Chain A
Amino acid sequence: ETGVTQSPTHLIKTRGQQVTLRCSSQSGHNTVSWYQQALGQGPQFIFQYYREEENGRGNFPPRFSGLQFPNYSSELNVNALELDDSALYLCASSLQGGHGYTFGSGTRLTVV
């Protein structure tokens, strides 16, 4: 049974650029959630995808968007990057209706 895989592990972007982060969910999981974890803080819920549609969203602006693919993998896209977007981005997969989240190791995004 494979866990949750995220790529890349680290990247550096310039303010105003766009970025795409990728996540492969754990085998058998059909739901993917994304979280932003700023340094020294707890993770903040961005959104969740189920059956390729957004299934819940936290307090993040529309420049944060996502996709889920038929194989349940997912992408997080952030447009018009700001310095405050620098954070660890965590992907978590689960079965819809369950609380058994499996987290990936995250992508460390630095915006300069």
Chain B
Amino acid sequence: NAGVTQTPKFQVLKTGQSMTLQCAQDMNHEYMSWYRQDPGMGLRLIHYSVGAGITDQGEVPNGYNVSRSTTEDFPLRLLSAAPSQTSVYFCASSYLPRGVEQYFGPGTRLTVT
């Protein structure tokens, strides 16, 4: 099992550009989520999904879009990148939405200039 995979590992964008961060898992997990990590702020939930076709907002959803067309994939779209979106992004999955271990991907380091 590859677990949770994320691409790309690094990305530099100019303000106003859009892009999609990819996330995939091969553990047949129903629950997937996106977090951003900023120094001194821990991991903050952006969006999550409890299954294919179902998504919902987390704590900091503005400027991001998600979709879940399959169980395996959960891409995160930045609609118009801003310097405030410079961060490390982690995708995570688990077989239940609560009370179980979250498996994290290796992360994407995004810089917006």
Question: Do A and B truly interact?
Answer: no
